[in-house]
Chain A
Amino acid sequence: LAKTTQPISMDSYEGQEVNITCSHNNIATNDYITWYQQFPSQGPRFIIQGYKTKVTNEVASLFIPADRKSSTLSLPRVSLSDTAVYYCLVGGGTGFQKLVFGTGTRLLVSP
Chain B
Amino acid sequence: DAGVTQSPTHLIKTRGQHVTLRCSPISGHKSVSWYQQVLGQGPQFIFQYYEKEERGRGNFPDRFSARQFPNYSSELNVNALLLGDSALYLCASSLTGGVTEAFFGQGTRLTVV
Contact = CB atoms under 8 A, between A and B. Distances in A.
Interface of A: 32, 34, 41-46, 49, 87, 92-93, 95-104
B56 A96 contact: yes
The 10 tightest CB contacts between A and B, nearest first, are A43-B104, A101-B42, A92-B99, A96-B97, A46-B101, A96-B55, A32-B99, A101-B43, A43-B90, A98-B56
A8 B106 CA distance: 24
B35 A95 contact: no
Contacts of B58: 98
Interface of B: 4, 31, 33, 35, 41-45, 48, 50, 55-56, 58, 88, 90-92, 94, 97-107, 109
B90 to A, nearest CB: 5
B68 to A, nearest CB: 14
B98 A92 contact: yes
Contact of A44 (B31, B48, B98, B104): B104
Nearest to B57: A98
Given A44-B104, A97-B100, 7 more contacts: A42-B104, A42-B107, A98-B48, A98-B58, A99-B92, A101-B42, A104-B42
Given A98-B58, A99-B43, A43 B106 contact: yes
Contact of A43 (B92, B97, B99): B92
Given A97-B31, A97-B33, A45 B104 contact: yes
